[in-house]
Structure formats: C-alpha cells, structure tokens
C-alpha cells in the first residue's frame, strides 16, 4: 500500500486517525453497516417499500404532467419506472442484503455501481449515457430509504458504524443540509474535495468538533474505502496509509493536542477579563437545540447566534409555529436567563431546505436569501416571529435579522414583528413586549450605513463570513478562490471598525458572530478595535478566552489603530502575527 499526502484547507483543528468511509456522492449519505440476522427480513421489506414508494411518486409525477409538457418528460419517467420493474434493481439488491447482511441503501448502491460499469462498456454514446437514468432512479430510492420512517434508528446506525473502528468521512462535497445530519453520527474526522473555509458546510464540520479539512481536490477519488488515514486539521494535511513511524509520530501529536485541550479546561469558569480589567462577553453559536449541551460545557455565557434555518432542512414541510416555539423555548430555558440571540431564517445560497434542491439562479449568494426571502414570504416569517415571541416569555431571547442591506427591509421587518405581537395580544398569549431587535451587518452597504441601522436597532452583530464574501467578491463556498478570502484585508477591517464606531456613538452593543470571532489569532486585534462581545462555535471559546486573559487592552488599542491605518495586506499580516507573540499563548 502506497503512502501519500494530500493538502487542503484545515477548517477544524485536531488530529484524527481512522479508516476512510467514503460518501457516495454530494447528495447522499450512503453508509454501509452490517445487520444482525434477525433484522434481514425487515430490511428487505424496507427495500421493497422504498421501491413501491418511488414507483408511486413517479406515477404521481407522470399523471401530474401538464398536457403540453414535452413528450420526453413522460418518456423519461417511463424509463425510470421500467428500470424499477427490472429484476436487476428490484430483486438483486434483496439478494445482496441477504448475502452480505448489509443495509438496503448499500445493497442498491452496489448494484447500481455494477450496472453503471456495464453501461460504461457500451460503444454507442447515447446508450452509454443512459447510465445517468440508472443513477437518478437509484438516488430516488436511496433518498426514500434515508428518510423512511421505518429506517433504522440513528443510534443503531451509529453503533453499527462504530462497532470496531473510528471512521473518517470522505466526501466530494457535502451540503449543509447533509452535514447537519452528521451531527447524529460519530465520525472521527470529516474531509471533502471542495468547500471554502467559511462555507456553511465547513462551519458545520467545525461544530461537529472533530478535525476537518476541505478543498482537498481529489481526496474522494484517491482514497479507498477502509484505508487508514491521518487527518491533521490544524495543518490541513491528510496522510493516507501512513507507515509505522509516521503513525507513531502522529499518535504522539494527537496525545499532545488532547493534553492541551485538557489544560484549557482549567480556565472554563474563569471570567474573560483582560489584564487591565475589561470584561469581554464570549457567546456561542449554535445550529440545533441539542447544541446547548456543548454551550454549557464550553463556558460560554450566552448564545450569540442561533442559526434557525437548520430546523427547516431535510424535510418537505416547513416546521409549524408549535414546533418552532418548542425549539426556541427549549434553548431559552436551557440557558437559564442568559442571553439567547436567535436569528430569523437565513435560507438561500448554500443553505437549502433539501440537499438535492437544484439552485437555478446564477448567483444564489446575491439572490433571494435571508431577510429578502422572509419578506417575500410574509406568512412563513409571521409564523417564525410568533414562535420567537412566544418563546421570549421563557428566557432572555433577542431577535436578530440576517442580511439587512436597506432601512426599508428593517422597517418592514418591524411592521411584521408588530403584527405578530398584535396577533398574540389578541389571543392573550404572553411574550416579552420589549424584546430586543438586532441586525446582522454582513453586507458592505449595511456596514457603511451602520449609523443609520444602529439608530433603529437595539444591537448589531457583524457577520464576517458574508461581509468578507461580499466585500471581496469571493464566493465563500468556492475553494478555487479560497486563498483570496482574507479577514485581514484592509477594506474588511475598515468596515468592521465603522460598525464598531457606529455602535459606540449610539450606545448600541456590537458583536462579531462570524468565524473571525473564533479565530484566536484575531482576538487581540478584534478587542483592540473595540469589540466587547464575540460569538463563536463552543469549541473555540477557551482558546479565545486564553488570549483575552493575556491581553493588555491599552496596548492592543494602539496596535489596532496602527493596523487600521495600513492599506497593504502584506504589512497587516506580519503585524498581527507580531501582536500574537507565542509566549502570550502558553498557559501559565
């Protein structure tokens, strides 16, 4: 077995050693697990039911086609239906389940690979391309299997997956909707071929609290299922089939890293105060209510960003008011009176409800997302606002609006919020009448006009992930331009500084809740610029706190002023590195 290295962009630190578990493609999470003999029959029934459901779905689509729909559409569905009738797809996978004692998804995928291989041998190009039909129809079946109510519980899957060895998830690409499902699995690391450092997939990878690397280009092709790999998330390096010496070296480094993490636990309940006595609020970012467990364990003193859109993913129907209310209330109550900033729906761009949604607009990041989407769907927004208001009776909830660019969006939002309040008053439902309303500053237009937003809002929160994307015109999900994505770009720093000043002038709090807040190399700069509130993934809280505990604010303000006066990124970077002297980082 040849040993080799692949380099990518590390998005979550730490070292993992385990066996590769290849994900079949971007849309689907096809895991392979073995079943005990007594579950085999159930699995075959599950498979047959899925085939039946897909046939029904296709039948419905066919009969729902408009009369003037192109004839190819009906023929296309007919082909898929025929394929499902064929023994090779409807029967052989059952034999595979029986013989290999494997799950249905894996069985039909194996069979699909076999059929596709045969198609590949056909000389006629048109016929050869029919393999796409096989892939598409199998994808349909797998999707039904994955979402089927009789699907094996995640606990069963997880224990089957982790029976003997640590698994490292290797994928070409994973949508945020897919990634959120991985929270239920226990992978040791997560690596993908594509993705930018602040793509939502990377953010989720980070929130899994396991080493992760993106932008590895060809990892999915080069690594084989089951191969032993080392993932060094801090360096962005994957080592495939390491030899004995390398393995020993990395085991040692892994131990050291874990030891450092343990040491950090010592400052968990220490207040985040600089050497000259300024207190900094360190809040956590969460995606799902279950994340509050990690928040409590991290020592965060509140939640600075709850991204509610993840509640809307991987499902056909939007969550209703009651379901949303319970989710928000659960978080608010779990935080026992500490601040919980809940952001309204930020769907769109790389965050779609379903991982297989085909985005048709040319520039989804510039399209109908976040507040723009909510204002265009007032009923959906109304439902969420009512749920948030109701939950505000049970804790210290504040509402945060994403992607504001104009004051009129803010004013429309306020009207809708008032309308939601009126409807609750009419029903005598309790809520916090004075609930605070904040806005995300993540579009340059909003940062430049931050004064005006600060006047009409209770607080501001800087979303640096999008602010950098829109200021530098760099798609945050595109690894081809990831090297240009730089938080230290002078224009980005100036926009952040303008927002902080606007908040200071109007006495409104300003925080950063983008990934910059969790990067310990930037902590001194950010607090030197005047930030007193940072919100980040829980796993970053302690490293950031450690920086704060070693900071002399008066010195940092001078340093930040120097940095802000520079127009050249090449001069800024070394200066920031200098302010982070390694001696400051060590725990005493």
Phi, psi (deg, nearest 5) at residue 512: -115, 130
Q: Which is nearer to ligand PEP, 176 or 528 (CB)?
A: 176
Backbone angles phi, psi at 134, to 5 degrees: -60, -45
Considering beta carbons, is residue 388 or 549 the nearer one to ligand PEP? Answer: 388
**Distance (Å, rounded) from C-alpha 26 to C-alpha 176?**
11
Task: Report the distance separating Cα 283 and Cα 544, nearest Å.
Answer: 11
- Closest separation between CB of residue 213 and ligand PEP, Å? 19
CB-nearer residue toward ligand PEP: 54 or 513:
513
Decide: is 466 part of the binding site for Mg ion (CB under 5 A). Answer: yes
442 lines the binding site for Mg ion (CB under 5 A): yes
Q: Total number of residues binding Mg ion (CB under 5 A)?
A: 3
464 binds ligand PEP (CB under 6 A): yes
Q: How many CB atoms lie within 10 A of CB 108?
A: 27
Q: Which stretch in 11-19, 43-51, 286-294, 462-470 sits in contact with ligand PEP by CB under 6 A?
A: 462-470
- Binding partner at 291 among Mg ion, ligand PEP, none, C-beta below 5 to 8 Å by kind: none
Is 540 marked active-site? no
Specify the 3-state DSSP secondary structure of 170. strand
Tell me the window of 152-160, 388-396, 464-472, 482-490 that interacts with ligand PEP (CB under 6 A): 464-472
Query: Strand locations in 225-292, DSSP E?
Result: 228-232, 237-240, 281-286
| Secondary structure of residue 276 in the 3-state scheme | coil
- Nearer Cβ to Mg ion (403/553): 403
Strand stretches in 276-415, DSSP E:
281-286, 303-307, 339-343, 396-401
Distance in Å, CB of 479 to ligand PEP, minimum: 17
Residue 309 binds Mg ion (CB under 5 A)? no
Task: Give the integer Cα–Cα distance in Å for 382 and 359.
Answer: 25
Which H or E run contains 376? helix 370-376
Total Cβ atoms within 10 A of residue 397? 26
Residue 313's binding partner out of Mg ion, ligand PEP, none, with CB under 5 to 8 Å set by partner kind: none
Query: Which part of the chain contacts ligand PEP (CB under 6 A), choosing from 11-19, 63-71, 418-426, 458-466?
Result: 458-466
Of 205, 513, 556, 563, the one binding ligand PEP by CB under 6 A: 513
Stretch that binds ligand PEP, among 34-42, 322-330, 380-388, 460-468 (CB under 6 A): 460-468
519 binds ligand PEP (CB under 6 A): no
Q: Does 479 bind Mg ion (CB under 5 A)?
A: no
Cα 88 to the center of its chain, rounded Å? 37
464 binds, options Mg ion, ligand PEP, none, Cβ within 5 to 8 A by partner type = ligand PEP
Written as six digits, the tokens of 312 are 């809307």
Which pair of tokens denotes residue 564?
A: 């802000």
Please give the Cα distance from 353 to 507 (Å, whole number): 37
Hunting for tokens 């105060």 — which residue is that?
A: 273
Going across the sheet that includes 167-171, the strands are: 4-7, 237-240, 228-232, 15-22, 167-171, 189-192, 212-214, 9-12
Give the shortest CB-477-to-ligand PEP separation in angstroms: 11
> Counting contacts by CB under 6 A, is residue 465 touching ligand PEP?
yes
Q: What is the DSSP secondary structure assignment for residue 279, as one 8-state letter?
A: B
Is residue 5 part of the annotated active site? The answer reads no
Q: How far is the CB of 328 from ligand PEP (least distance, A)?
A: 17
Catalytic residue among 21, 32, 200, 540: 200
Q: Which residue has the tokens 């080592």?
A: 239
> With binding defined as CB under 6 A, does residue 199 bind ligand PEP?
no
Please count the helices (runs of H) and the strands (runs of E) in the chain. 26, 16
Q: Map the footprint of ligand PEP across residues 276-315, applying CB under 6 A.
A: 305, 307
Q: CA–CA distance from 367 to each of 340, 364, 372, 442, 527 (Å)?
A: 28, 5, 8, 15, 33
Number of residues that bind ligand PEP (CB under 6 A): 11
One residue of 348, 439, 514, 530 binding ligand PEP per CB under 6 A: 514
Least gap, CB of 536 to ligand PEP (angstroms): 10
- How many CA atoms, within 13 angstroms, populate the side-chain half-sphere of residue 302? 21
Give, rounded to a whole angstrom, the gap between the first and last alpha carbons of the chain.
Answer: 44
* Nearest-approach distance from CB 200 to Mg ion, in angstroms: 9
Task: Return the number of the residue (384 or 465) whose C-beta is nearest ligand PEP.
Answer: 465
Shortest Cβ 97–ligand PEP spacing (Å): 40
Give the count of beta carbons closer than 10 Å to the beta carbon of residue 88. Answer: 14
Shortest Cβ 522–ligand PEP spacing (Å) = 13
Q: Which residues contact 411 (CB under 8 A, 6 or more apart)?
A: 456
Can residue 466 be called a binding residue for ligand PEP (CB under 6 A)?
Answer: yes
CB of 89 or CB of 401, closer to ligand PEP: 401
**Active-site residue list:** 200, 513
Residues at the site binding ligand PEP, with contacts judged by CB under 6 A: 203, 305, 307, 346, 442, 463-466, 513-514
Residues at the site binding Mg ion, with contacts judged by CB under 5 A: 442, 463, 466
């Amino acid at each position: 077995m040849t040993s080799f290295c692949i380099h990518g962009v590390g998005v979550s630190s730490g070292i993992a050693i385990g066996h590769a578990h290849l994900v079949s493609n971007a849309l689907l999470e096809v895991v392979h697990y073995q079943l005990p003999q007594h579950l085999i029959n159930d699995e075959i029934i599950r498979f047959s039911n899925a085939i039946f459901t897909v046939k029904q779905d296709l039948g419905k689509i066919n009969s729902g086609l408009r009369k003037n729909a192109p004839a190819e559409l009906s023929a296309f569905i007919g082909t898929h239906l025929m394929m499902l009738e064929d023994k090779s797809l409807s029967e052989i996978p059952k034999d595979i389940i029986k013989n290999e004692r494997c799950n249905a998804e894996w069985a039909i995928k194996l069979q699909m690979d076999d059929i596709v291989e045969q198609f590949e041998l056909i000389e006629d190009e048109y016929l050869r391309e029919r393999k796409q039909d096989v892939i598409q129809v199998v994808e349909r079946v797998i999707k039904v299997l994955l979402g089927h109510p009789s699907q094996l519980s995640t606990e069963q899957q997880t224990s089957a997956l982790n029976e003997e060895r640590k698994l490292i998830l290797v994928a070409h690409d994973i949508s945020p909707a897919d990634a959120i499902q991985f929270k239920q699995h226990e992978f040791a690391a997560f690596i993908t071929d594509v993705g930018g450092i602040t793509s939502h997939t990377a953010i989720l990878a980070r929130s899994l609290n396991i080493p992760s690397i993106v932008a590895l280009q060809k990892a999915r092709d080069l690594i084989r299922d089951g191969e032993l790999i080392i993932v060094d998330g801090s360096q962005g390096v994957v080592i495939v089939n390491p030899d004995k010496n390398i393995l020993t070296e990395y085991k040692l480094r892994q131990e050291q890293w874990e030891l450092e993490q343990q040491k950090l636990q010592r400052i968990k309940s220490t207040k985040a105060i600089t050497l000259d006595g300024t207190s900094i609020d360190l809040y956590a970012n969460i995606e799902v209510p279950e994340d509050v467990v990690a928040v409590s364990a991290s020592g965060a003193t509140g939640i600075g960003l709850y991204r509610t859109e993840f509640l809307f993913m991987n499902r056909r129907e939007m969550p209703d008011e009651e379901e949303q209310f319970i989710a928000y209330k659960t978080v608010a109550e779990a935080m026992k009176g500490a601040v919980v900033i809940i952001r309204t729906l930020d769907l769109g761009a790389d965050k779609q409800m379903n991982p297989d949604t085909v985005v048709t607009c040319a520039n989804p990041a510039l399209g109908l997302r976040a507040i723009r989407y909510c204002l265009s769907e007032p009923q959906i927004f109304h439902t969420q606002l009512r749920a948030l208001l109701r939950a505000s009776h049970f804790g210290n909830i504040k509402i945060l609006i994403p992607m504001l660019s104009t004051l009129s969006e803010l004013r429309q939002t306020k009207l809708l919020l008032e309308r939601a309040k009126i409807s609750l008053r009419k029903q005598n439902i309790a809520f916090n009448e004075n609930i605070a309303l904040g806005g995300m500053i993540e579009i340059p237009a909003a940062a430049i006009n931050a004064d005006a937003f600060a006047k009409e809002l209770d607080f501001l929160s800087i979303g640096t992930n999008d602010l950098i994307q829109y200021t530098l015109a760099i798609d945050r999900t595109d690894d081809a331009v990831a090297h240009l994505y730089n938080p230290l770009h002078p224009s980005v720093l100036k926009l952040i500084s303008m927002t902080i000043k606007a908040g200071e002038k109007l006495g409104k709090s300003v925080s950063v809740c983008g990934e910059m807040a969790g990067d310990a190399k930037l902590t001194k700069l950010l607090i030197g610029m005047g930030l007193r509130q940072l919100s980040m993934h829980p796993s970053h809280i302690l490293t950031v706190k450690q920086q704060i505990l070693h900071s002399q604010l008066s010195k940092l303000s001078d340093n930040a002023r120097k940095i802000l006066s520079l127009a050249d990124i090449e001069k800024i970077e070394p200066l920031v590195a200098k302010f982070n002297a390694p001696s400051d980082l060590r725990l005493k």
